[in-house]
Structure 1
Amino acid sequence: MTKLYNDFGIKLTMGAHILESNSSGNLTPAVSEAGTVLPGYLVVILSVLMVTLVVVVVAGNALVIMAFIVDKTLRNQSNYFFLNLAISDFLVGAFCIPVYIPYNLTGRWMLGKGLCKVWLVMDYLLCTASVFNIVLISYDRFLSVTRAVKYRAQRNMTRRAVFKMVAVWVLAFLLYGPAIIFWETVVGQSVVPSHECYAEFYFTWYFLLSASTFEFFTPFVSVAFFNLSIYLNIHRRNKNSSTCCEDEPKNHNSKKQKDPTGWSVFFVKTRKPTASCLGPGRRTQGSRLSRDKKIAKSLAIIVCIFGVCWAPYTLLMIIRAACSGECVPNYWYEITFWLLWLNSAINPFLYPLCHSSFRRAFSKILCPKRQSVQPQIEIQSC
């Protein structure tokens, strides 16, 4: 989602100012047309923060990708979707942010119009693919909880997972790619100055509203629905499980009681679960319920972070376009814009919350000596 910001002569978008070189070659604060001065030390701080974000995004998502190479137990249908998300986030950190940093600091695009379009296509594609991957992960978690039997039967069908992964990239490209490439041709002219780089539809509010419906509003409603469905499913199963273990022993003072199979089940005065509640079937159900609770918690975190990172930008983008950039200060728009990329840095750290197997894979990569002396126990994903 690349958007640039010299609409009011402001060259550093985090503030209305740039650094200019004086005759001695030193950097000194400059006063922009807006009359606001940004101290040199603040530019340095911003530069360090941007570079740090690049390092975190690249390193974090590279770790997830390496985990799939190192640990074969991660290679199942649901985890492939995490891999797809990591690839899109990794490319955001490896390409989109580094190319944008010089433009952000200087206020001038110096790489030519051709590379500008490549960068725009990549930025919109990767950010949109990241959103669609979150929806795909949420849908997969939804199926694993609400349609557990059918889901387990299809869990190792890699071909179907690959098809869904490819579909994410195709749909993400179709949403913005053709508009970025052909908008100028269709309209007959370009409204973007040669020293700037933003999409031709930057101020076309009706297009942005339509695209945002598919890029944010529909995905957000979808993941919220999946999360709510998982919660209700777990709540119902948890209630049924509690009812079973509480209601089954009707007479706690009796010495013994016959069950339908003829075996005697003994009860003591202190209340304990019945044999059926402690049986293999109940233990398996309890294990799955515990796993599904972890899925619900991790998915809720993903949904909340997704909403926090995307909602401010999406709303401001539409408002800004509707009023031709005159009602939203640039710095607010810029802050919400960086939140999108911050989401790519947060995602890799959410995986350990969802998968104990990811924790093991990360530990194997970061602490290989420690792993070599520990028994290799396959840990099921949450």
Structure 2
Amino acid sequence: MSWINTMNNSTAEIPHAAEMCNETCSSQPLSSEFSLGVLVLLAFLMVLLCLVTILGNMLVILAFIMDRNLRHRSNYFFLNLAVSDFAVGVFCMPLYIPYALTGTWHLGRSLCKLWLVMDYLLCTASVFNIVLISYDRFLSVTKAVSYRAQQGIMSSSAIKMVAIWVLAFLLYCPAILLWEHVAGHSVVAVDQCYAEFFDNWYFLLCASTLEFFVPLLLVTYFNVHIFHNIQRRQRRGSVQDCEPPRSSSLSWRFCGLPRPGASSPSSEAEDSVSSLTRSWRPAVVANGPSRTETSSRASQRNFSASFCSRSGSKLQRDKKIAKSLAVIVCVFAICWAPYSLLMIIRGVCQGECIHNSLYEATFWLLWINSSLNPFLYPLCHMRFRMAFLKILCPKKFATLRSGNTPSI
């Protein structure tokens, strides 16, 4: 009877042992797969990526501290993104490098939990900040009037930035902290560090949809609408784009004024305005236009030209915004798509169909996005470039300023 009980117990332990074997085998150290020279090269590249992430995002934060010209509503979203990416380089990457190279977690369960919470929170917040920045650019191009009217309102921006962190925390962190307590046991080995839901593909599919697929669709949607808005404005032509606001009875003319003697169709409104202008004009003018009329026409032409210039510069600025957003969408998709897809596939096949080195490569590709963000976002704007130049090369910045360089 005791022999039968022993056999039953050993049989009951087989699935659990197999599960632990799968987890241990799926997280084999890179030292068992590569030579010493390759490991040294990998360690160097990991440390280099960590330093680039820290320094790049620190530069963005210092620019906000030193340059007050950057402190307006939309740029605070860049600061929020830089803070999350900076924390990735300071905390997440350095703790993961020894674990990735040796395959063993030496820092204990408590620090493992903290590292998991911070890693998932910061990466998710980075993605949500990208969506928020794209949405802000979308409003600035498609709804420019209402957007400029709210430029001085900081309360709504602060609420949006806080909401980013709250949503990022709720997506993964409760599951990281409470999963093993709800399940009644832990499936993670003592010397390993990964989330309890690592092989639960149902949860991974839902979380990846909210973390990657939905943000990707939103960012793509905003970018496409920005392109359509710019194309629509270009098709309307420069005459309609340069039309000044109709704030007075003399502002009915378009920017493209006809040449003297050239005939052009006129509407009933134009005829009525022109007749009203003729009836108001003094009758003493016999030999030519008066000085008042001449100065009025000159000021009107100057106003129209300046309005055309402002409209053209805004269109060019919107084109640059659209191009930068297109690059952002592509880089974001390239960095996040492999990891999100492999994470779901790995969960379905319980880690048996995805090689560990391939999964590690996609994991680091995800972090590369945090290294590229300081170059993709702030460097697309003249204000940030001048602030960076002021920090890195103060003498050159002073020379440019003294040389009547256009203000930022």
Q: TM-score range by the shorter chain?
A: 0.7 to 0.9
- SS of the residue 1:109 aligns to: coil
Query: Structure 2 residue aligned with 1:328, among 354, 370, 381?
Result: 354
Q: Which amino acid aligns with 2:364?
A: W
- SS of the residue 1:202 aligns to: coil
The answer to whether the Cα contact below 8 Å between 1:357 and 1:379 also exists between their aligned partners in 2 is: no
Deviations 1:159-212 (A, max 9, x none): 221111111011100000000000000010000000000000000000000111
- Runs of 4+ aligned residues of structure 1 deviating over 3 Å after TM superposition are 242-264, 275-278, 376-380
Do structure 1's residue 140 and structure 2's residue 170 form an aligned pair?
no
Bigger mean CA offset, 114-123 vs 150-159: 150-159
The answer to whether the Cα contact below 8 Å between 2:77 and 2:133 also exists between their aligned partners in 1 is: yes
Segments of 5+ residues of structure 1 without an aligned counterpart are 19-31, 265-274
Whichever structure has more helix as a proportion of its residues is 2
Residue matched to 2:201: 205
Deviations 1:126-166 (A, max 9, x none): 00000000000000000001110110111121222111111
Do structure 1's residue 85 and structure 2's residue 81 form an aligned pair?
yes
- Which runs of structure 2 are paired with 1:288-307 in the superposition (5 Å)? 288-307=314-333
Change (3 A) 1:150 1:10: closer
RMSD: 2.7
Q: Which amino acid aligns with 1:62?
A: M
The size of the alignment, in residue pairs, is: 346
Residue matched to 1:196: 192
- Which runs of structure 2 are paired with 1:17-28 in the superposition (5 Å)? 18=31
Change (3 A) 1:292 1:48: same
Change (3 A) 1:311 1:43: same
Question: Whose RCO is larger (CA < 8 A, sep 6+)?
Answer: 2
The answer to whether the Cα contact below 8 Å between 2:26 and 2:356 also exists between their aligned partners in 1 is: no
Change (3 A) 1:101 1:337: same
Residue matched to 1:241: 237
- Which runs of structure 2 are paired with 1:111-260 in the superposition (5 Å)? 111-242=107-238, 244=240, 254=261
The answer to whether the Cα contact below 8 Å between 1:277 and 1:283 also exists between their aligned partners in 2 is: no
- SS of the residue 1:80 aligns to: helix
Q: Which amino acid aligns with 2:206?
A: S
Deviations 1:25-50 (A, max 9, x none): xxxxxxx4xxxx52111111001000
Change (3 A) 1:188 1:296: same
Residue matched to 1:269: none
Change (3 A) 1:277 1:317: farther
Do structure 1's residue 75 and structure 2's residue 71 form an aligned pair?
yes
Do structure 1's residue 310 and structure 2's residue 327 form an aligned pair?
no
Deviations 1:343-369 (A, max 9, x none): 011111113442110000000000112
- SS of the residue 1:155 aligns to: coil
Query: Structure 2 residue aligned with 1:12, among 12, 29, 36?
Result: 29
Change (3 A) 1:52 1:245: closer
Residue matched to 2:383: 357
The answer to whether the Cα contact below 8 Å between 1:276 and 1:282 also exists between their aligned partners in 2 is: no
Residue matched to 2:281: none
Deviations 1:89-120 (A, max 9, x none): 00000000000001111110011101000000
- SS of the residue 1:77 aligns to: coil
Q: Quote how far apart the aligned CAs of 1:374 are.
A: 3.6
Identity among equivalent pairs (%): 56
Q: Quote how far apart the aligned CAs of 1:241 are.
A: 2.7
Aligned partners of 1:295, 1:190: CA distance in 2, in Å?
48
Query: Who wins on radius of gyration, i.e. which is larger?
Result: 2
The answer to whether the Cα contact below 8 Å between 1:73 and 1:378 also exists between their aligned partners in 2 is: no
Q: Which amino acid aligns with 1:343?
A: N
Change (3 A) 1:315 1:10: closer
Q: Quote how far apart the aligned CAs of 1:6 are.
A: 5.8
Change (3 A) 1:153 1:253: closer
The answer to whether the Cα contact below 8 Å between 1:11 and 1:105 also exists between their aligned partners in 2 is: no
Task: Please report the TM-score for the alignment, with normalisation by the length of structure 2.
Answer: 0.79
Q: Which amino acid aligns with 1:178?
A: P
Q: Quote how far apart the aligned CAs of 1:8 are.
A: 1.9
The answer to whether the Cα contact below 8 Å between 2:58 and 2:86 also exists between their aligned partners in 1 is: yes
Residue matched to 1:29: none
Aligned partners of 1:183, 1:132: CA distance in 2, in Å?
24
Q: Which amino acid aligns with 2:116?
A: L
Aligned partners of 2:112, 2:256: CA distance in 1, in Å?
72
Q: Which amino acid aligns with 1:191?
A: V
Q: Quote how far apart the aligned CAs of 1:80 are.
A: 0.2
Residue matched to 2:18: none
- SS of the residue 2:388 aligns to: helix
Residue matched to 1:98: 94
